Amino acid sequence: MKPRPDDIFVCTYPKSGTTWIQHIVHEPMAMCDLSPMIEASGAQFANALESPRILKSHLTYADVPKGAGAKYIYACRNPKDCLTSYYHHQRALKHYEFEHGNFDVFFDIFMDGRISFGDYFDHLISWLDGIEKGEEKIMLLRYEDMLAALPSTVVQIANFLEGSAEELVRDEQQLAKIVESSSLASMKMNQQRWFPDTYFQLNHRDEFIRKGGSRNWKSLFSIEQSQLLDERFRQRLEATAAAGWWQKEMAWDVRKKES
């Protein structure tokens, strides 16, 4: 498919805030709920949509359609919470046939990159490299920052979108409405909007938008698994802008990171 100048791409590795950002983008633009995943819907379907289009993707920077002045919002999440959420996601969707899947098995699959959309670190590095190149209009968000400061995140996104979205959030009442409807609690109550039964066959609907948050990984990880992922993080990201990210979120003992 060919990007258009007014396209907005919401790009993430799975379970890093895709639906959350999709919702935030829709609100100030007052658009319909349709925002297809391009790798699932295909170019023909995307090309038939009227402008402006909101398109979502889990593709790497190298593979996502680029050009024409389109805007890209890329969100990332610390790998431990991402892995944990992805595990629950695969258990929830029937087509994965993993409803009773073992976490230790999934951990090994994730670490080996033998999973839908590939290796977490390859994906993150590809987008960090793309941002550094500066050839496209890319906004970088971290899931944890969105959790900590949703109102300012909404404003940042609206300012990036410009136009009517930027104007709308200058109204404090309108901003408050968008923030409220974009809270994880509100979205959890309205899951059917984004995940209709006609499209998603779920084992457990309440697991698609679960509870969000940070450090949920510790309920499943062993200390050995935590250390393995810490080492992989250092090896893969030490030469990138992400080298110092998520120290508190990934720490086994938060008190040591705060001392």
Q: Which pLDDT does position 253 carry in this prediction? A: 86
Q: Could you give the 3-state DSSP secondary structure of residue 160? A: helix
The runs of H, that is alpha helices, within 62-134 are 79-92, 103-112, 120-133
Please identify which of the residues 58, 88, 123, 204 carries the catalytic annotation. Answer: 58
Residue 15 lies inside a defined structural domain of this protein: yes
Q: Which pLDDT does position 35 carry in this prediction? A: 75
Q: Which domain holds residue 159?
A: 8-244
Q: What angle do CA 57, 140, 22 make, to 5 degrees?
A: 45
Residue 191 lies inside a defined structural domain of this protein: yes
* Strands of the chain, DSSP E: 8-12, 54-57, 71-76, 137-142
Query: For the chain, which ranges sit under pLDDT 70?
Result: 30-34, 95-98, 190-213, 254-259
Amino acid at residue number 57 = S
Sheet with 54-57: list strands edge to edge.
54-57, 8-12, 71-76, 137-142
Residue 215 lies inside a defined structural domain of this protein: yes
Q: Which pLDDT does position 199 carry in this prediction? A: 46
Cα separations in angstroms, 81 against 52, 76, 107, 208: 33, 11, 12, 15
Q: Which pLDDT does position 256 carry in this prediction? A: 56
- Region at 212 (left for phi over 0; alpha for psi -120 to 50; beta for the rest): left
Residue 114 lies inside a defined structural domain of this protein: yes
Number of domains in the chain: 1
Average pLDDT, the chain: 87
Q: Which pLDDT does position 198 carry in this prediction? A: 44
Q: How far apart are CA 108 and CA 27, in angstroms?
A: 38
Contacts of 129 (CB under 8 A, 6+ apart): 61
Residue 227 lies inside a defined structural domain of this protein: yes
Q: Which pLDDT does position 27 carry in this prediction? A: 85
The closest of 6, 3, 101 to 59, measured between CA atoms, is 3
pTM of the model: 0.89
Domain with residue 24: its CATH number is: 3.40.50.300
Q: Which pLDDT does position 259 carry in this prediction? A: 43
Residue 249 lies inside a defined structural domain of this protein: no
Q: 100 catalytic, yes or no? A: no
